[in-house]
Amino acid sequence: MLVGEEKEIRRDDGSVFVTRQVRSPKSGTHLNVIVLNEHIMNKACALLPFARSMSTSKKARLNFLRSASECLMIDNGAAYSFAENEFRRATARLAKLELLSAGSSMSDSQVVTLEDWVMLLDFFHQDLSIGAIRTIGG
């Protein structure tokens, strides 16, 4: 991945975050990867147990529906498909929080963008300005 310089991005709510533009050589896509600070790492560490628990429960539900669907042939697999998508999203949230809590926003296979961070905060009903370097009346 080709890494650019840091820049500040102001969100609609007035919070200002520091990001670094990254370009993937394979796809050529430009992403605004969040630059970590102490607040982001602390919040990621605090949310990690909840994300782990959620991922575990989604996996258990998926396994139950897999066996129930096979045995009962219910709803043509719609519930299983829904549970599979829920598990996939929970696993993705967990992976992003694990990366952030380890002190990084990029790995060989994954990046955490500003949009990803805001989505994580929103999903867990947190203040969306956590990790912002400042807040401007928005």
The rounded distance, in Å, linking the Cα atoms of 98 and 44 is 8
The neighbour count for residue 29, using CB atoms within 10 Å, is 9
Question: In this structure, are residues 32 and 20 in contact, taking their beta carbons and an 8 Å threshold?
Answer: yes
pTM, two decimal places: 0.84
Q: What is the pLDDT of residues 82-138, one digit of tens each?
A: 889 999 999 999 999 999 999 999 988 889 999 999 999 999 999 999 999 988 765
Q: What is the pLDDT of residues 13-62, one digit of tens each?
A: 899 999 998 887 677 788 889 999 999 999 999 999 999 999 999 999 98
Query: Is residue 18 left, alpha or beta, with left meaning phi > 0 and alpha meaning psi from -120 to 50?
Result: beta
List, in order, residues 6 or more apart from 47 with CB less than 8 Å away.
97, 120, 124, 126
Measured CA to CA in angstroms, residue 51 lies from 11, 92, 93, 114 at distances of 25, 10, 7, 19
Would the CA dihedral through 121, 127, 128, 133 be positive or negative?
A: negative
Quick one: CA torsion of 54, 55, 56, 58, rounded to 10 degrees?
80
Check whether 64 has a pLDDT greater than 80: yes
What mean pLDDT value characterizes the chain? 88
